[in-house]
Amino acid sequence: MFINERVAIPDPDIHALERYLCIAKYLGATNLVWSGQIPIHDTHKTRVDLLLGEIGDNSTLIAVAPMAKWESKLWGLGRFASLADVIKEELGAEVIFTGTESDKAAIDKILSAMRTRALNLAGRTSLKELACLYQKCAVVISTDTGPMHVATAMGSPVVVALFGPTSPSRTGPYGVKHRVIRAGLECSPCLRKRCDHMSCMKKITVDMVFSTVKEVLKDVAIGRETVPV
């Protein structure tokens, strides 16, 4: 009731971040060069290093944010368990699950369904510690949720995002280097928080996600080899 000015958006389908920048421009902001990174300090790095000490010194870390507020965005606990197992067994990477305190029980169920071991950091990090953690990961796998955007903002090498009921062009990981996995159904995106069949998420297979992660790690390794000393 207190809003009395509308900002013209050139294209309603542009990314949400760019829509927000239109508001900044409207308000007179001229210098919009900003990385988007959340500021972190030595205390956050120390805390994250302490948490990672629980899994040793493996150099390849893959974070997984499996939860979401919308029921229609969920991929399934069993699928995340299978994905984590194949990542550990075939890629030799360490898998770290992240989330809020309320996500801990669900992630514990994922771990209990796994053949291998993974680290559950749900509820054990602050927002800034989570941002610091994502910076250390080679890949962050996520549903369409807040941690996905945190990882993107922190410059994580690649975010692999699972999208079903929402539009990746509008709210996906911002930037060209990230990967979005979709089933490509005609009913998607529907923007519904609940769905009777959730086909758009169920038709995303474990192999689809694992193949993408494997390609990403290969590309990251090649990129490191070609960086001039």
What average pLDDT is seen over the chain? 89
27 sits in which H/E element: none
Residue 182's domain comprises: 46-226
- Please indicate, yes or no, if residue 22 is contained in any of the structural domains: no
Domain total in the chain: 1
Instruction: Look at the alpha carbons of 40, 41, 43, 45 in this order and tell me if their dihedral is positive or negative.
Output: positive
Residue keyed to tokens 């294209």: 11
> pLDDT digit string (tens) for 169-208?
888 888 778 899 999 888 989 888 898 899 999 999 999 9
13 sits in which H/E element: none
User: DSSP assignment of 178-201, as one string?
Assistant: -EEE----TT-----S--SS-HHH
Query: So what's the pLDDT on residue 17?
Result: 87
Query: Exposed (0-12), middle (13-18) or buried (19+): which is 110, by Cβ within 10 Å?
Result: buried
* Of 219, 62, 84, 224, residue with least CA distance to 133: 62
- Please indicate, yes or no, if residue 101 is contained in any of the structural domains: yes
- Please indicate, yes or no, if residue 7 is contained in any of the structural domains: no
Angle at 127 between CA 53 and CA 87, to 5 degrees: 50
Angle at 67 between CA 206 and CA 15, to 5 degrees: 90
- Please indicate, yes or no, if residue 15 is contained in any of the structural domains: no
Taking the C-alpha atoms of residue 181 and residue 216, their distance in angstroms, rounded to an integer, is: 13
CB 160 within 8 A of CB 213: yes
Taking the C-alpha atoms of residue 35 and residue 38, their distance in angstroms, rounded to an integer, is: 9
- Please indicate, yes or no, if residue 8 is contained in any of the structural domains: no
Taking the C-alpha atoms of residue 66 and residue 74, their distance in angstroms, rounded to an integer, is: 7
- Please indicate, yes or no, if residue 206 is contained in any of the structural domains: yes
> pLDDT digit string (tens) for 34-71?
677 888 999 999 999 999 998 877 679 999 999 999 99
Domain CATH code at residue 214: 3.40.50.2000
Query: So what's the pLDDT on residue 228?
Result: 44
C-alpha R_g of the chain: 18
- Please indicate, yes or no, if residue 170 is contained in any of the structural domains: yes
- Please indicate, yes or no, if residue 32 is contained in any of the structural domains: no
